[in-house]
Structure 1
Amino acid sequence: MQFHHHGYVSGDPRVLPAGVEDRPSELPDEVDVLIVGSGPAGMLLAAQMSQYPGITTRIIEKRDGRLVLGQADGIQPRSVETFQAFGFAERIIAEAYNIGWMNFWGPNPDNPDEIVRTARTADYAYDICEFPHLIVNQARVLDYFAEAAAHGPARITPDYGVEFLGLTVHEEGEHPVEVTVRDANGERTVRARYVVGCDGARSGVRAAIGRTHVGAMAAHAWGVMDVLVNTDFPDWRTKCAINSEAGNILHIPREGGYLSRMYIDLGEVSADDNRSVRHTTIDAIIEKANAILHPYTLDVKEVAWHSVYEVGHRVTDGFDDVDAGSDRTPRVFLTGDACHTHSAKAGQGMNVSMQDGFNLGWKLGSVLTGRAPEALLATYGAERRPVAQQLIDFDREWSSLMARKPEEISDPNELATFYLGTAEFPSGFMTQYTSSMITGTDAHQALAGGFPLGKRFKSAEVVRIGDGNVTHLGHHARADGRWRVYAFADRDGSALAAWAEAATPVFARFTPADADVDAVFDVKAIYQQPYEELEVAAAPALFQPKTGPLGLTDWEKVYTSGPYKWTTTDIFEARELSRDGVVIVVRPDQYVAAILPLDAVGELEGFLEGAFLPAS
């Protein structure tokens, strides 16, 4: 990581210099952004907004303190990639359970009352990217985002013990959203420019703007429990899908080496059940688990948490407070469970919720700092609602497969085949945004086949010229609200040099004159020549910016492709990049926004004119 560019740092470099002097301890009467709820979407959003000290952001939570025991635990590779951008991927990987395998069990053909292992499958994560598939308590994820928010320049910390009661959006005013809350001193009013509802499936913010969930329950119940046990089941520390004559189990080992989570099939729910299934006792759930696992047994020593739920698949009819056809600027947004709910077994809830927050955060920051027009905010719902619908469709199919009876299964390997064959979706890498003011056209896609337009930037190893170290190109990007521009050179670098000269004033148009030259665009060069033939000092000035109060040269913006020493990867080959060069523009949330040839600086400027306001 880079630090010292604002002067010598002797303490923890993850604690960024404060950009605010006196943050009020009490919730102010007026704020720019009010986040309601401190779940995954809300805490990521707070961490993102903490990069904007000039924006007053507060996050309210009706709990009295941090979440102690979270219900979500599955962390998909795309989420770990996101953690990398917020600076804590390595630490959370160290404490999490890494899903290396998923095994499948079914009835023994010779004795159907007993289960046998039918397949061992390696997990999909490392076949798709460099990040693992993890299991870790939701509370720890929130802790890490809380740390990032508190250590960011805006120094954001949750206002606990504050309950959201309602809101009204007024037509006029600098802070047009009037929010009623209740704290220890009673009811009061807070006015905000924007409000984000991250307050869960029973969202009060959703109700306040008149949005409703569309969908239904699936009439099937599951018991879920986190348990410490002694057992003779041989795959206790391996993720398993278990199908038996007595029902189904999704078994997921958890962090720490001993704890595991089990989703136990409680069967179909009758129409006149009236939710009585939700009162199923933990003893009954354990008894059912033992019946499914026969001939193996569970001796449960402690139940850390348990619940019963009915599978539901619902998407809210809108992700903000603006109706279709209106050109009004959205003022209230919904994220996470407030706008999409589904089963827990696909491990998507927390992951998709965090991506909601990531998508929205930099957009709010860009608009409120004057970098982008307010029209940018309408792209949040336009981009995220289709993703939620895709999730519901996937989860409905996965849940149905998980709930089948043995006699309904013609191919015992069907579930394993589906799990691996659809891996890119649950891993978080199928999301692809369509053309908009922040995502260009695919006219030049042939120049970069491995970087599909609208999908997340898929990193690869490169060699840093300044020190000869091998690093992942995408891992240098931080969730700091900046756009990334990766300029891949032509064979001899001459076209790249011409591009850099022509593009420099274009980037300057959208960068405040009193800010660092790379405050909005982090521009990097990737050459094709061998490492030994290149010198950082010979690169165009665009790739050697002098930043910070001391005007220090940044030595980490010039790279070359491998293979070299500690990497066998040639990024040009691995990502199908044109040897004539290509420019990849990447949004702050890591999605590819534009693909352009080196001689298309005018086209680059035209794209940026649609996404940005000229800097004052």
Structure 2
Amino acid sequence: MTRDSRWVEGDFDETKTDVLVVGAGPVGLITAYQLARFGGLSVRIIEKHTKSIQDTYGRAITLFPRTSELLDQLGLADELLQEAFACRETVAYNSRGEEVHGRGWSFMNQMKDTAFDFALVLRQKYQEEIFRNALRRYGVEVEAPVELIGVNVDDTAITSSSHPVAATVQDTKTSNRKIIRCRCLVGADGGRSSVRRLLAIPFEGSTTEDRWVRIDGHVKTNLPKPCTYCSIESPTHGNVLWVGLDRGATRIGYAFTDDRANAYAEFNEQAAVAEAIAAVKPFTLDFERVDWWTIYTVGQRIAKRFSVGDRVFLVGDACHTHSSGAAQGMNTGIHDAVNLGWKLSLVLRGLAPSALLKTYEKERRPNVQKLIQYDMNISRLMNNRLPEGWRGDPDADVNEILGQVLEEAGTFSSGLGISYEPLLDNPLVRASSSSSTLKPGMRAPDIYLLRPGTFDRTRLIRETPNVGCFYTVFFTGESLQTLSEAGLREVEQSRLLKGYIKSQCLTYLTILATKRPSVYGSLGRAYIDIEDRSGYQRYGVDPDQGCVFVIRPDGWICAVIPLDMNVKHELEALFEGILFESSQHQKQRATLDCLKL
């Protein structure tokens, strides 16, 4: 049977591609960029709107540490840092203009354990330019203005190489239509997703009565610390957001209450400026220039399902929406894209079974649900209202409670504490008996390392770029002998593991505990822990015992294997549950089976 979603009949030109990405915001661009970067697949990306200056200046601005790490693994962080404002300071002021501690965005002062211990602030317009240019280097251009107007998914297709998704698209300038057939379609087209609507995927949740105003521009002020992530506790405009932006600009956000709305016959840019001036009192504010402003409604929704038949996938706002209160929208969307990207690449290139794609929703949905719960509380508190179902003091200070909620959500908001729970049907998060403080499903911490010979510093993330392959990292302790000679040879000689390496699905790294003049005999590329052994300490590895960590392409830990186990057997069993054997190894195994017969 076929799944009919407002299928548009007609005799149109047809083209084919492996993956069609719908929506060219940051999430769609990162999805397409990954697939192009990993190679072996054709990719197209379409965008409905030709964005105006007003549209492209505003929207998302903040990348938190874990997102920056993910983009660093994709080779994009350096370009972002050239244009961004690195915000390392936060401050909160009460209604009298007095600085108060432990409130507002103070959790950002605790974002440690990463080279990106700051908020990377860059308006979406400039982020998109960087991502588009990176995508262009792989020969992929955004096609705009092109609108998706129909989707048909052929459920009878049985081969992974077929093109069962037919997308009808229309050039909104010429009204010309054509069909793009693809193996997979990714909907990254925002909260009003055409992909989600055309496939009739329910979008569950609610929209509140809360509305906020956001305004960007160049300002003059007597605010003592203007180049910060700042909150001002206004009795009339909620918990006011003040953020120093790139290029010397500033963003101000405040609650748009009925009182504000009723005070104006038309709430236009002039009104938005006047209310921004009122919102930051007792400080003064003068706008030299307005770049962008908007009013938006707060709502929390999540798609009933994130995919259709392992052929169509939703990412970012297309499958979940929330307020900008915790500044998580773009971060969460990029996490979706990075989680899905390498899995889609491996499956479509015939290197992994399609079951791998089911782990996308299994891993992302619980984290999205957690974010939405936090966001419901944060958005109410920022509008001077206690959370729904509040059982504490009804006269509690909403600003104090907001600080507590943001602090509680701190490691989640920074992304450094986001993890994936072990599940029996998820081979990517394997239960472990290791004594290490790090467990499968947790982020693999970035640590400083020394390169052999020169002893110049590098970072683990820089040496484990996201190119769609797994990294098996051997912490061999004081001596390479920690992993016995026999065990070392077994791993090296494993035909199965060699096949994964040849298919570029697996790479070995060795991290030694102390400096040495030669690293000969290491498995794969070798590095050395820095002098204080902080790398071994961070990974909870005893130098006398060593340990093996398997790190997924997206930088989360897949497995932890003590060296006193049969490392070869454990690695083979792990990857047999995730990847296909190489064709060469399949032939060798078939030959051996025939000889046994």
Same fold at TM > 0.5: yes
Partner of 2:553: 588
Q: Which amino acid aligns with 2:100?
A: T
Distance 1:40 1:218, change over 3 A: same
The structure where helix makes up a greater share of residues is 2
Q: CA deviation at 1:290?
A: 2.5
Cα distance in 1 between the residues matched to 2:396 and 2:464:
46
Q: Which amino acid aligns with 2:377?
A: E
Cα distance in 2 between the residues matched to 1:122 and 1:61:
36
Cα distance in 2 between the residues matched to 1:30 and 1:355:
28
Q: CA deviation at 1:411?
A: 7.9
SS in 2 for 1:189: strand
**Contact 1:211/1:318 (CA < 8 Å) preserved in 2?**
yes
**Contact 1:99/1:123 (CA < 8 Å) preserved in 2?**
no
Q: CA deviation at 1:278?
A: 12
Distance 1:276 1:518, change over 3 A: farther
Cα distance in 2 between the residues matched to 1:157 and 1:505:
43
Cα distance in 1 between the residues matched to 2:51 and 2:206:
33
Q: Percent identity?
A: 29
Q: CA deviation at 1:237?
A: 2.1
**Contact 1:219/1:268 (CA < 8 Å) preserved in 2?**
no
Q: CA deviation at 1:456?
A: 1.8
Q: Which amino acid aligns with 2:246?
A: E
Structure 1 residues 47-103: Cα deviation after superposition (integer angstroms, max 9, x where no partner): 111124321211111234798434111111111111211213123123211221211
Structure 1 residues 332-373: Cα deviation after superposition (integer angstroms, max 9, x where no partner): 000011011111121111111011111111111101111100
| Counterparts of residues 144-159 of structure 1 (less than 5 Å) | 144-152=130-138, 155-159=139-143
- Determine if the alignment matches structure 1 residue 573 to structure 2 residue 532: no
**Contact 1:220/1:266 (CA < 8 Å) preserved in 2?**
yes
Match of 2:530 among 562, 569, 572: 562
Match of 1:73 among 61, 66, 79: 61
Partner of 2:589: none
**Contact 1:221/1:268 (CA < 8 Å) preserved in 2?**
no
Q: Which amino acid aligns with 2:333?
A: S
Distance 1:437 1:410, change over 3 A: closer
Structure 1 residues 192-218: Cα deviation after superposition (integer angstroms, max 9, x where no partner): 111000011110000122112111112
Partner of 1:326: none
Partner of 1:116: 98
Please, which runs of 5 or more residues in structure 1 have no aligned partner? 1-26, 109-114, 322-328, 544-556
Partner of 2:210: 220
Q: Which amino acid aligns with 2:184?
A: Y
Cα distance in 1 between the residues matched to 2:38 and 2:99:
52
Match of 1:234 among 224, 233, 236: 224
SS in 2 for 1:156: coil
Q: CA deviation at 1:510?
A: 6.5
Q: CA deviation at 1:150?
A: 2.5
Distance 1:583 1:509, change over 3 A: closer
**Contact 2:36/2:42 (CA < 8 Å) preserved in 1?**
no
Mean alpha-carbon deviation: is it higher for 452-461 or for 261-270? 261-270
Please, which runs of 5 or more residues in structure 2 have no aligned partner? 1-12, 387-393, 584-597
Cα distance in 2 between the residues matched to 1:490 and 1:420:
37
Structure 1 residues 307-326: Cα deviation after superposition (integer angstroms, max 9, x where no partner): 111211111111011xxxxx
Q: Which amino acid aligns with 1:582?
A: C
Partner of 2:336: 356
- Determine if the alignment matches structure 1 residue 37 to structure 2 residue 23: yes
Q: CA deviation at 1:409?
A: 4.1
Mean alpha-carbon deviation: is it higher for 189-198 or for 491-500? 491-500
Cα distance in 2 between the residues matched to 1:51 and 1:477:
15
Partner of 1:401: 381
Partner of 2:304: 317
Q: Which amino acid aligns with 1:86?
A: L
| Counterparts of residues 247-258 of structure 1 (less than 5 Å) | 247-248=237-238, 249-257=240-248
| Counterparts of residues 265-284 of structure 1 (less than 5 Å) | 265-267=255-257, 280-284=267-271
Q: CA deviation at 1:408?
A: 4.6
Structure 1 residues 528-565: Cα deviation after superposition (integer angstroms, max 9, x where no partner): 2x31x3403x224x42xxxxxxxxxxxxx1112221xx
Q: Which amino acid aligns with 1:48?
A: Q
Distance 1:65 1:413, change over 3 A: closer
Partner of 1:188: 178
Partner of 1:16: none
Q: CA deviation at 1:187?
A: 1.2
Distance 1:384 1:240, change over 3 A: same
- Determine if the alignment matches structure 1 residue 133 to structure 2 residue 119: yes
- Determine if the alignment matches structure 1 residue 54 to structure 2 residue 40: yes
| Counterparts of residues 372-451 of structure 1 (less than 5 Å) | 372-404=352-384, 408-410=395-397, 413-435=400-422, 436-446=425-435, 448-449=436-437, 451=438
- Determine if the alignment matches structure 1 residue 82 to structure 2 residue 70: yes
Distance 1:216 1:122, change over 3 A: closer
Q: Which amino acid aligns with 1:91?
A: E
Match of 1:519 among 496, 504, 514: 504
Partner of 2:478: 491
- Determine if the alignment matches structure 1 residue 261 to structure 2 residue 226: no
Cα distance in 2 between the residues matched to 1:348 and 1:474:
23
Distance 1:63 1:266, change over 3 A: closer
SS in 1 for 2:28: helix
Distance 1:294 1:269, change over 3 A: closer
Cα distance in 2 between the residues matched to 1:505 and 1:397:
55
Q: CA deviation at 1:471?
A: 1.5
Partner of 1:103: 91
**Contact 2:113/2:445 (CA < 8 Å) preserved in 1?**
no
- TM-score, L = length of structure 2: 0.85
- TM-score, L = length of structure 1: 0.83
Distance 1:100 1:371, change over 3 A: same
Partner of 2:285: 298
Partner of 1:24: none
**Contact 1:221/1:269 (CA < 8 Å) preserved in 2?**
no
Q: CA RMSD in A?
A: 2.7
Q: Which amino acid aligns with 2:64?
A: Q
**Contact 1:125/1:133 (CA < 8 Å) preserved in 2?**
no
Q: CA deviation at 1:438?
A: 3.4
Distance 1:592 1:38, change over 3 A: same
- Determine if the alignment matches structure 1 residue 613 to structure 2 residue 580: yes
SS in 2 for 1:50: helix
**Contact 1:46/1:59 (CA < 8 Å) preserved in 2?**
yes
Structure 1 residues 576-598: Cα deviation after superposition (integer angstroms, max 9, x where no partner): 11331111111111111111122
Distance 1:69 1:295, change over 3 A: closer
Cα distance in 1 between the residues matched to 2:98 and 2:59:
30
SS in 1 for 2:112: helix
Cα distance in 2 between the residues matched to 1:53 and 1:443:
33
Matched length: 546
Q: Which amino acid aligns with 1:84?
A: D
SS in 1 for 2:360: helix
Q: CA deviation at 1:234?
A: 2.1
Q: Which amino acid aligns with 1:180?
A: T
**Contact 2:420/2:441 (CA < 8 Å) preserved in 1?**
yes
Distance 1:191 1:122, change over 3 A: closer
Partner of 2:389: none
